[in-house]
Structures are given as structure tokens and as C-alpha cells.
Amino acid sequence: MNTPPTETSSQFITLLASLMLVVQLLLAVQRMLVTNIRLFALQSLLLAAIATVVACVFGAWHVLVVAVLTLIGKVLFLPWWLERLVRRIKIGQEIHPFVNMPASMLICGALTVLSYVVARPFTSLERLGSNTLAVAIALLLTGFFLMINRRKAITQVLALLTMENGVMLAAIALTTYGMPLVVEIGIFFDVVIAVMVLGILVFRIRESFDSMDVSKLNELKW
Amino acid sequence: MLLTTILCVPLVVGLLCLFVRPRALMEALNIAGFVGVLVLGVKLFHAVLAKNGAAVTEWNEFLRADALSAWMVLLISVVSLATSLYAVRYFRSDLTSGIATARRVREFYVLTPTFATGMLLVVLANNLGVMWAAVEVTALSSVLLVALYNRKTSLEAAWKYVMLGGLGLVLALFGTIFAYAAAISPTGGGAHLPSFNWSHLLAMAPQLNPHLITLAFVFVLVGYGTKAGLAPMHTWLPDAHSEAPSPTSAMLSGVSLKIAVYALLRFHILTTACLGTGYSRNLLLGFGLFSMLLAGPFILTQKNLKRMLAYSSLEHVGLICVAVGMNAPLTVFGALLHMGYHALTKPVLFFTAGNIHQHYHTLDFTRIGGGLVRTMPATALLLGLAAAAVSGLPPFGLFVSELTVLVGGFTSGHVWVSVVILTTLIIVFCGVLDKLAGLLLGPGHAEPPRETISAGHIMAMGWPLGALLLFTAWLPGSVRQLMEQASGIIRGLP
């Protein structure tokens, strides 16, 4: 058994994790596409900060690698790439969700409560912070809701990415040191390539359909 | 170095195809590469048998092949080889008719070996996290293959596939992390990370945290189940299979669905070893039965040939899961046999569907009408034989494997499950034969000119059916031994 995390660092991690959730809720109500991308960058920055705190407190150098990868990949590269894509395909900035703002806020709130209920039996297994697992599940569920609620292909990609942030938070919360380095690097490259593949598809959809509204993708049935 | 070489061959082929110019060279590289993988796969098969129950490992157990992996390697290499042989004529004809551009064809020859490398890594990786990453690689490469034609419908299919697949994979990653956390909690962590190797987790299975493993399996089942096309997460499957170029449909249906089932099986073995109950087994049984029941009505009412074939794949994946779920020696053996026979049959069906699409420019049953035996006799013959095989008629192997599963089910006390399986098999049998009898023999309208196809091309398309007949009549003792070992692994025998 290694030394229990100090009170301060634990509280700090809880604070950062809850900030991630706040950013997620902002994403749910924010209407501008570019702001959405930047909010995702901010959320990833918070994740990188959590990983850095873990790395410093426990002296685990490989978690620092994870933090650096997150910083380069999800805070700098992917947002830059997505913004470039948005500029290149010249789409409108407005997002047009299916459910209006107050209702989606309420739904996200309900989903957060639900995830706290779901995570309750497992709180004893959390090794870092308190309720970080609940936050991770909340990110997963609200990300799922965001995905359903958005029409534009690119905002669905962002929703998928926030879900992935939730999973990475769960990895740190449940295991302290994250996963073995080879797995972390594998996941990192997969996510980056996934977003680029999605970008290619978004670009082609935009060219063929003259729109990015995925509700127009409705020809194939049965 | 055998395992490393198996992974490197298709990877190198894929990279080379990025750079070589002439199309003939790309075709030759793909075929040569997959012949190489097949030869190495057979070598691995003998190496695993020689180990007599132990696994072949490399790189400090990073790569690991037991009987189950070796069996999957054989399936991957056979289907990939069949695909690359058929693709030659398919894409040449697409190029002459202007449906595909040279750039798209290059994309195919680069992405197909990448797809195969990903699948090989799934079955050879010991680390469950690496296995997840490899599944993601297969998903990403196949998404671009589905979108190859850039039609509106193929983009729609690719988008549905990537979104549902992405969602499924995020859930599977969540489950994978839970499985890792289950390994950490008993040891209390400590400064060094415990190994995330499957073999290591299996060895310490009784000490794993049972709550976390229970949760992990649910997430993994939904996650990899999406990729395996289990109902109700199957909605991407008919779209992707029908819109992809036919060689890709063959790979998706012939082997990639089974790779996802393989990933599921690894977690199933782990969960059963940890909990010691039928928890994961019953879940597999339930989802499998639901998939089988759902496939029947959709096949009966289907209007598009490739979509019908996709639903038939759904039914076969369902049968494999049910057979594993029943957990009798005969049913698990039957499941593995079924995987193999299905991998030899389904590609031929998709190849013939590809020929029909290129000849008629549609796959709609009503628009084609019928009379394929008159306009495309060679293709029609192969389609008829393969359809008879896939619906479980003797003398083809799927009859034997389905019978094995049913006998195993009845004798192990799963009477009701077996009755349901039998009923759905009959429904699907009627559906497939009804549709295809009309297509092949029915009266045709506006018949296009007869197709011209050389004997060599017929051979390149139909040889898996020959192999199917051969291995139905004569299953070598060594193959049987390998499958018995693999079914022992699935059933958790030491």
C-alpha cells in the first residue's frame, strides 16, 4: 500500500474534476461552434492538469507523459485542426440543437444526479479525490446526450471527444497511475487518428450534401 | 519472431502500396502479402499445437497466441486472401466503368492490409488495452473503406458506422479500464503498475474485484457487441455492409464481426474465471438469441441483396454467441467450427453480389427481376451454391456445424434455446432461398447482355467454396485438435 494522497492534492483533484463537469454543462448550452471547440480544449486542459497533479504528488513519471500527450493532442492540436476544418468548410456558427437550452440543462442535471447514484457503490474503490468516478460517468452520460442533441456532424465529434475525456478521468480516478504507458499511447494515437478520419468524413459529407446536418442522412432504412 | 512477422507482413504491404505507382504491382503486393500471412498462419497453427496447450509468446508476453488466437489468425488470412484475389477483377471493372478513380483504388489497397493488421493485432495482443486500440484501428480503416465510393448513401452508412462504432468503443474502453481497476484493487496498487496482460489477469482471476468485473463485462458487451453487430446495437451493420465495396463487405462480414466476438470472448473467459457463475455466459446467450430472432423477419422482408446478406451475418454471429453461451463441449466446438465455415462461405456471397451490382447497377430484388442463370450463369451458379451453404443445406459445412450446436444444445439440457435456434434457422432458410430462387430462376425483365468472365476469375471468386467442401468432407485431425484446445480455453478448462 503506498502512502495515501495528501488531503490538499485530493481536494485539488476533486476541484479540477468538478470544473470539467462545469465545462461540460457549458458545452450543453453554448450555441457557437468555435466556442464549443475551445470549451473542449479547456476541458482537456483540466484533464491534463489532473494528470500533472497525480504525477507530481506520486512521482510517477509516466503519468506526466500522459499529461503532456493530452496537452499536445487534445488541448492544442485537435482544437486547432477542428477550427481549421470549420473555416475550410465555411459552415454557419449556430448549432441548432433539437432540445432547447433550459430543457437540455435540466436533462444534463438529471443525468449528473443519475451518475452520482450509479457511482455510489464504487466510491470505496476510488483511489483519488472524492466523487471523481461519478464525474467521469456524468461526462459519459451527458456526452451521450450532447451527441443525440446535435445536428451538425462536427458537434457530434466533439461530444464523442468529451465522452473520451470522461473515460480518461475514470482511468486516473480508479487506478491512480492511469494505464500502462503503451496503452495510453495507443489510446492517444487512436483518438487523434479517429478525429482526423471523422474530419475527412465531415468534409466529404459537406461536399456531397451541401450541409453538415446529420438529420439529412436518412436515406438508408431497414 | 513468428508473431511479429505475421503482424509486419500486411503492415509493410500497406505502407508499400502508399508509394508504388503501377496498379498491377499493388494488386500483386496485396495478394503476395496475404499468401505470406496464410503460410505464416499455418506455421503458427503447428507451433501452437506443438506447445501442447501452452501459448506461443513474444516480446516478454506482449504478443501471445494460444489455440483460439491461432484459429482466428487462420480465418483472417483466408478471408483477406480471398478478398485480395477477388478485388483485382472488381476494381479493374470499376475503373473501366468510371465508378472508382485510381486514387480510390489505391486507398483500397492501402487500407485493406491496414485493416488486416489491426485484426491480427487484436487476436495476437496479450494486453487488453492494446487489444482495444487494435479494435479501434480496424474500425477506423474499415470506415474509410465503407466510404470509398463517396456516394451520398455510402457517406451516410460510414457516418452511422463511425458514430455507433465510436460510441461502442468508448464504452468498451470504459469496461477495459474497469477490468484493469479490478486487478489493482486487491494488490493495493503500489508504485509499480500490475501487468494488464490477459494471461496475467486470468492467472489472478479469483482475486479480481468481482463488482468491477461484473460492471466491466456489461460495458464491454455493449461496446464490442456494437462492433460485432449484436442486436439491438446492430443498426449500422446492414448499412455499412451494403454500401461498402463488395471486397470490403466480404472482410467486414466474413471476419471482422468475429474479431469483435473474439474480444468479447476474452472478457467472457476472464469474467467466468473470476465470478465462477454463468453471468457472462447468460448475457451472451440472451444477446445472441435476440440477434437471431431479429434477423429472421428482416431477411423475409428484405429488398436488397447485400442488406439481406448483412442480416444473415447478424444471424450467424448470434448463433455463435448462443452456442458459446450454452457452454457445452459440443456447442462451443460447434461455434468455432461455424466461425470457420461461415468465413469460407460469406465472402463468396458478397463477391457474387459485387458482380451482380457491376452488371445490373443495382442490388434491388424487384429492379433486377430475375433470370440471373441466363444473364450471368457462372456468378449465378456460385451464388446459388453459396446461398445453399449459408442457409445450412448439406453437403456444406454449415449444416454440420449447425447440427453440432443443436445436438450439443439438446443433449446439454438447453431444450428451449435449441428449439428457438431451430425455428430461426428454418425462417432464415426459407427467407434466403425464397429471395434467391426468384433472383436466379425467376422471369427477368430488360435483361442486360451476358456477362463475360474468364475461368480464372471464377476460380479466384469461388475457391473458398471448394475449400469449404473439402474441409466438410475431411477435417484434419490437427485442426480438430486445435479447435478442441480453443473450445477448452473458452470453457475455462485448465
Mean pLDDT, range A192-200, rounded to an integer: 87
* Count of domains for chain B: 1
Task: Indicate yes or no: CB of A194 within 8 angstroms of CB of B211.
Answer: no
Contact B263, A183 (CB under 8 A): no
Rounded to a whole number, what is the distance in Å from the CA of A180 to chain B's nearest CA?
A: 7
Residues of chain B with pLDDT under 50: 189, 191
Domain hosting residue A81, numbered range: 7-214
Left, alpha or beta for A4 (phi > 0: left; psi -120 to 50: alpha)?
A: beta
B-chain CB neighbours of A121 within 8 Å are 211
DSSP string, A68-107: HHHIIIIIIIHHHHHHHHHHHHT--SB---SS-HHHHHHH
Interface test with B, best of A58, A63, A139, A190 (most B CBs within 10 A): A190
List, for residues B117-139, the tens digit of each pLDDT value. 999 999 999 999 999 999 999 99
Contact B122, B106 (CB under 8 A): no
| Predicted local confidence at residue A2, as pLDDT | 46
Rounded to a whole number, what is the distance in Å from the CA of B453 to chain A's nearest CA?
A: 32
Nearest-angstrom CA–CA distance, A118 and A109: 14
List, for residues A15-73, the tens digit of each pLDDT value. 888 899 999 988 888 878 888 899 999 999 999 998 888 888 877 777 888 889 889 98
Rounded to a whole number, what is the distance in Å from the CA of A1 to chain B's nearest CA?
A: 5
Task: Indicate yes or no: CB of A170 within 8 angstroms of CB of B177.
Answer: yes
Task: Indicate yes or no: CB of B177 within 8 angstroms of CB of A205.
Answer: no
| Predicted local confidence at residue B54, as pLDDT | 83
3-class SS of residue B309 = helix
| Predicted local confidence at residue A126, as pLDDT | 63
B-chain CB neighbours of A198 within 8 Å are 162, 166
B-chain CB neighbours of A195 within 8 Å are none
In a domain, A1, yes or no: no
| Predicted local confidence at residue B480, as pLDDT | 92
Task: Indicate yes or no: CB of B156 within 8 angstroms of CB of A218.
Answer: yes
Mean pLDDT, range A126-144, rounded to an integer: 82
Rounded to a whole number, what is the distance in Å from the CA of A192 to chain B's nearest CA?
A: 11
| Predicted local confidence at residue A1, as pLDDT | 37
Domain hosting residue B253, numbered range: 2-490
List, for residues A172-190, the tens digit of each pLDDT value. 877 766 677 788 888 888 8
List, for residues B94-116, the tens digit of each pLDDT value. 999 888 888 899 999 999 999 99
| Predicted local confidence at residue B188, as pLDDT | 52
3-class SS of residue B64 = strand
* Count of domains for chain A: 1
Q: In terms of residues, how long is chain B?
A: 494
DSSP string, A97-160: -SS-HHHHHHHHHHHHHHHHHHHGGGGGG--SSSSHHHHHHHHHHHHHHHHHH--BHHHHHHHH
